[in-house]
A and B are shown apart, each in its own frame.
Chain A
Amino acid sequence: MSTPLLEARGLVKSFGANRVLRGVDVAVPAGSVTCLIGPSGSGKTTVLRSLNGLETPEAGTVRIGDVELDWATRPEARAVSRLRGQSGMVFQAHNLFPHLTVLDNVTSGPVFAHGRPRAEAQEEARALLTRVGLSDKADAYPVQLSGGQQQRVGIARALATRPEVVLFDEPTSALDPELVGEVLQVMQSLAAEGWTMVVVTHEMRFARQVADQVLFLDGGVVVEHGPPSEVLVEPRESRTRQFLHRLLDPL
């Protein structure tokens, strides 16, 4: 098997006395979709945020492409931001910049952070907005959009820096149910285009249809991982079975 594009090994992280990650390994081949699932408090969001240094693990390594970080060495801010530059992120609460137009949100990374010419960045941003079905909203402000539209702008913003990997942190959890589909459709089409994606989600149908591999986390460890046809359909571990059962049959 070829070298994965993203590789994390032995991630350990505590919040105070609470050990949320107890040695997590993740390997993501280029062009694949990995879904992280598990009960709340299982550490799946912490894993995701460790991949771009929004959390600082005490131990473990993360490598994306040719940028590698060993958390045990307490890397300095510049090294962390180099790793962070390899990925883009879509947040649960979208975290769009409310004082900027949709277009300026999407160009914020290329223009403000990377100093690229505004006209060129805007041209690419418009293409990305078309890509997520929002070409007519370029001049709107985030507050004028629906939740689903805001999240699609969030996706366009994350893609604008041309990241190696796109990280999604429960991108549909804060949305009204009828708006979930439009976001998942965009994500599905990105997957089909070959974007490498790591997705924390509770959307089991998305995981089953789009994911190449599923990692089930519980208690800060990866309990089970494999293709969705195994993990989601015929799980080996009883904890996985219980979780899926609770999710599919909450009453």
Chain B
Amino acid sequence: MSAIDWELVRSSLGPLFDGLVRGTLPLTAVSFVLGLAIALVVALMRLSGRRLVAGVARAYVSVIRGTPLLLQLFIVFYGLPSLGITLDPWPSAIIALSLNVGGYASEAVRGAILAVPPGQWEAAMTVGMGPITTLRRVVLPQAARIAVPPLSNTLISLVKDTSLVSVVLVTELLRRAQEIAGQSFEFFTLYGVAAVYYWVVCLVLSFGQTRLETRLSRHVAA
């Protein structure tokens, strides 16, 4: 008997693809966008120069980076109900993942903002821009280029981290594989197909990262 049941592979492709497209990908996309927004706010808080504001941001990053994502997920899904806050699996998953991405990505965003030369701020100020306009028109467009490699790492990690939310009953790729494997007992086959799906998504994202880096670097000296 072969380890791989090819008939099962073929019949599971559709349901697992469904788990990918309706679970993993939207979870990734929504959490990444929300996470980036959080990251920008947290990075600006840390750069604000106000001790209290920067301290809050620093504490947030420290807690997010210092505790397991699975635990963060458990706190949102199983812990918050004891405080009277009960959330469905999907919102719980998105909140936990976004907060996690926000913590990690804020460091990349902060580093990228700091990497834009001070002369750019000065030049913007001398033509009359205030701090917010300078950030929007001058600094962030340049910081974006610098932040692409680290943020791509965060995104690719996130694709795989979404598998953790299977434990709070969100139906995504891994959970779908578990369900089918639980009926057929073909664990190797099902988890193998799921692994290939994850890998292909990450391959596509890596390819996208290279294209984006090239595009954003076109006006910058080598």
Contact = CB atoms under 8 A, between A and B. Distances in A.
By Cβ-Cβ distance, the 4 closest A-B pairs, closest first, are A109-B127, A113-B128, A95-B123, A95-B119
B219 interface: yes
A85 B128 contact: yes
A129 to B, nearest CB: 16
Contacts of B126: 52, 54, 84, 87-89, 158
Interface residues of A, number: 27
Given A108-B137, A112-B133, A84 B125 contact: yes
A93 B119 contact: yes
A116 to B, nearest CB: 11
Contact of A113 (B133, B141, B221): B133
B215 to A, nearest CB: 12
B184 interface: no
Contacts of A52: 126
15 contacts: A54-B122, A54-B126, A81-B125, A84-B125, A85-B128, A88-B127, A89-B122, A91-B122, A95-B117, A95-B119, A98-B142, A108-B138, A112-B129, A112-B137, A161-B127
B208 interface: no
Interface of A: 52, 54, 81, 84-85, 87-89, 91, 93, 95-99, 108-109, 112-114, 141-143, 157-158, 160-161
Contacts of A160: 127
Nearest to B218: A141
Given A95-B119, A99-B142, A112-B137, A84 B221 contact: no
Interface of B: 117, 119-120, 122-130, 133, 137-138, 141-142, 145, 219-221
B123 A113 contact: no
A143 B130 contact: no
Contacts of B117: 95
A141 B123 contact: no
Given A95-B120, A97-B120, A161-B128, 20 more contacts: A84-B126, A84-B128, A85-B128, A88-B126, A89-B122, A89-B126, A95-B122, A96-B123, A99-B141, A99-B142, A99-B219, A108-B127, A108-B137, A113-B127, A113-B128, A113-B129, A114-B128, A141-B219, A157-B123, A157-B127
